[in-house]
Amino acid sequence: MALEAIKWNENKLYILDQLRLPLETEYITVNNVKEGWQVINKMQVRGAPAIAIVGCLSLATELSQASFKDKHELLETICEKLQYLVTARPTAVNMKKAAEELTSFTKNLYNDKVSVTEMVDSVISWCQKMLNYDVSTNKKIGDFGADSILKSAGGKNVKILTHCNTGSLATAGYGTALGVVRSIHARGCLDQAYCTETRPYNQGARLTAYELVYDKIPGTLICDSMVAALINSHKIDAIVVGADRVTSNGDTANKIGTYQLAVIAKHHNVPFYVCAPTSSIDLNLAVGKDIPIEERPHNEMTDIAGIKIASPGISCWNPAFDVTPAELITGGIVTELGIFKPAELADKLKA
């Protein structure tokens, strides 16, 4: 059975608690927007697409239990709750874009001749559709990425390196960069997928490694500090990563450590791909330095599973993301609409 990070059943929302993986598999119920905000902020669910889906579904489950005196009250409530959800984590743009789209969808309903109940039902159904839409988007990304990487490899099986977790756990299913790995594996062309540990939160060691084992995809875990040595000794064919926000010029914010991978890739002439749905692309921002970078609590660096690993008293800097400049994204930006060079991204998407 495919791994499901998000379950939606009869207006009830359940998420797989990613703080407990890989040791425990426990689903928790998200009953309302406040709890949606909390599970996103605490990173019980994480990954840019999953954040937006869980945020919107937390609103859907709350709406299904509430009653409203009129359409105006419903519209105000939806707008206010969506704005609140956007504040849970600042770097990934997906929740912000979903909030804008759902707000405009709700405003159109408000102006239509529909009842309050019909308006609630339509908003719930809009949110629910995000699940299937995300999976089909990811499969397209997977196929576009696989086509490009396998074409460059000229018929031989490939070794791919990835960072963080961009798989079923970070999306509604299949994954973006890990979807590319999945797609290559499904074609029988994957020699090995290498995943970085991804300090400090260990999404690679805890989550990507878990997905690779779960789906019987040949995988090898490395520490973040081993990337240059791996590339120097193992003939890596491509590096694939996800994105939390891609700006108009192609600069890309993704999990901390992505930038150093791209620098190493450039030095060794390894194609570097960013794999992301268009919902992660923010054409309103010109360049990567405009992206707000979330800083996380220091205990995520100093402690692992409640055990102190750093000397008490040391000060810490813990940015959750970094920005990879467009010119290092040599393979291209793989979206559900195709693969684009960073410089052509904005024009292609506006067309």
Binding region for ligand MRU (CB under 6 A): 46-49, 92, 164, 166, 170-171, 176, 203, 242-244, 254-255, 320
Q: Which is nearer to ligand MRU, 6 or 243 (CB)?
A: 243
Using CB atoms, what's the residue nearest to ligand MRU? 242
Q: Rounded to the nearest whole angstrom, what is the least distance from the CB of residue 101 to ligand MRU in the complex?
A: 19
Q: Residue 106 or 168: which CB sits closer to ligand MRU?
A: 168
Q: Where are the beta strands (DSSP E) in the chain?
A: 6-9, 12-16, 27-30, 158-162, 190-196, 219-222, 238-241, 245-247, 252-255, 272-275, 281-282, 303-304, 307-308, 321-324, 332-335, 338-340
Rg of the chain (C-alpha set): 20
Give min distance, CB of 145 to ligand MRU, in A. Answer: 13
Identify which of residues 119 and 170 has a Cβ nearer to ligand MRU in the complex: 170
Catalytic residue among 244, 251, 282, 322: 244
Q: Considering the complex, what minimum distance in angstroms separates the CB of residue 93 from ligand MRU?
A: 10
What are the residues facing 195 on neighbouring strands?
Answer: 162, 221
Scanning the structure block, which residue is given the tokens 């500090």? Answer: 225
Name 170's Cβ contacts closer than 8 Å, sequence gap at least 6: 5, 46, 47, 48, 49, 50, 164, 176, 178, 207, 242
Please, what's the b/e burial string for 237-274 (b: 16 or more CB within 10 A of its CB; e: otherwise)? bbbbbbbbbbbbbbbbbbbbbbbbbbbbbeeeebbbbb
* Nearest approach, Cβ of residue 148 and ligand MRU (Å): 18
Q: Which is nearer to ligand MRU, 173 or 271 (CB)?
A: 173
CA 296 to chain centroid, in Å, comes to 17
251 is catalytic: no
Shortest Å distance, C-beta 296 to ligand MRU: 8
Of 71 and 255, nearer to ligand MRU (C-beta) is: 255
Question: What positions carry a catalytic annotation?
Answer: 244
